Structure 1
Amino acid sequence: MPIHSGIIDNPKADRIRKVSDLSSRKRREEYGRFCIEGPQAVREAIAYRPEIIGDLFVEVRAGGQAQGEQAQGEQAQTEQARPLSTVVERLEADSQAYDIYVHHVTSRVMQRISTDSQGIVAVADLAAMRVDAEDVPLAEGATVAAFWQIRDPGNAGTVIRAADAAGCDAVVFVDDCVDVLNPKVVRSSVGSLFHIPVLTMSTREFMQWTKSIHAKVVAADVYGLEGRPAMPLPEYIQQGELDGVQPHAFLFGNEARGLPESILKQVDRSVCIPMYGKAESLNLATSAAILLHTVAMSSHIERI
């Protein structure tokens, strides 16, 4: 697709207003679009899901002119415009292989769109990111990372990234969670959102789904229940529970409250990360990263 002619310099333009509005969940649902901010996230979206991107907004600044030359009109202005970095310039070039419109914008327009863009924002199709459980094929011994009532966008993006890095087969946001396509979630996932399916379910749907795929549900909890205390993760692994055959769904609780007793009663097992110092526990993102990577490393060692 050709780059749209001219540089957009009006932050109040209708097109820019609508992109800016995508910070609101209500507007995302209304317009059927969401924003991908920053070079890293945009790079991964272009590499893995280019079909979902409709528009690319690139912040530009005026380029240099040869001595004695003078820019004439809009065309000359556009030709001399340069993205803020070679990384963004490369992404703009990569986007031309796909059906993506590129819009050059000034700094004040980009500030209206996003304050965290680092010079580039993509607008993508929201519906294309919706994932149904039946559309996620899980192989033998699959690992699912599930998060109950995760509310902080930064945490949500970070745990998606951790699950991706650990080789999980899917991520599930359970019950009343932050919107997966919140700009901060997308940005903090650093592109992992485009590598791994992310589903959303109610608690009841999650429990029914895990039963239907014959998965063992393992809660990450410091204490567990009275009479059913949480087993230290190393002990759980040493017992051979991760047999590489039965799928596992590791369920993490809310950042502040953890998992309620009503859910702990429904899981197959609770495990905890041993504390070797004086801290009582770890925050959600750290716990998820440690647990999921420990499980992944133990599985890979066994295969070797």
Structure 2
Amino acid sequence: MADRVERLTNLLALLLETRRPLTLHEIASELESQYPDAGQARRAAFERDKAALREIGVEISTETFGGDRAGEMGHHIERSSFELPDLDLTDDEVRALQVALAATRPDSAIGEEALLKLGGVGGGVGGPIRMHLPELPALPILRSAVAQRHPVSFRYSGSVRKVEPWGLLLRDGFWYVVGFDQDRGAPRTFRVDRFEGEVAIDSAIVFEPPSDGDVGAALPTNPLLLGDEVAAEREAVVHIAARRAWLVEREIGSERILVRQDDGSITIRLPFTNEDALRSWVLGFLDDAELLEPVDVRDRLIEWLRAAV
């Protein structure tokens, strides 16, 4: 015999889907082996199930038959009384709900169904949404430091960085802390999952954040400049095949083109501080892109490819 929760779920689904009222006998036949065979025990179990559903707000309608079925009782659920009416949400409101639900990581079947109904998996307003927010040990400490305006220190790319954290931002699935680097005397961004070791807070100092309060504006929109893996901004030289040249020029602008070859290919220059992002960008073009400089970055890219084979 099915457990109580499974039986209640199946009973609810059956009474919602039926086009006519069902007797207890018909219900027991549809939900085979889920109710006792004995008449009195079956009736008692069914009455308990009806009471349980009514306690959570599910109204079960009953109807007494006449004619050759006189005296029999039929049961069903009016969908109009059970289902929510159309909420008449605007496109922006639907999109906001999609993002909020996706951010909760709806890995359960119920969560996936809810996201589907909001258009977050198979389509809907603005296309599908999937979001999995990474949780990192440093995040609670950084959030506290941002809220209380205390400087933090941490190891990053082999050196200790002292930063006045202005805020935390999520970009392309990664958390970044944006703030003022005290040693470099300039705003910097750091990818939190690349912190080496623990984060320390200097609670004796309270800093003043930027007056405009726009943390997002301090985060570069160019992924090649996200993070601070290198001490200073560097420039990459990349050769792009002719068939992709137009696409790259549209992306980076004609001012970054160093050479236009007769065959239609181009050589470009790209500023970067994030070597991994540069590697991903180059490899995204497969055979249509070749990193020429810096030589040390090119060598590490070749080593990475050999290790991956």
Question: TM-score per shorter chain, which class?
Answer: under 0.3
Q: Which has the larger radius of gyration?
A: 2
TM-score, length basis structure 1: 0.26
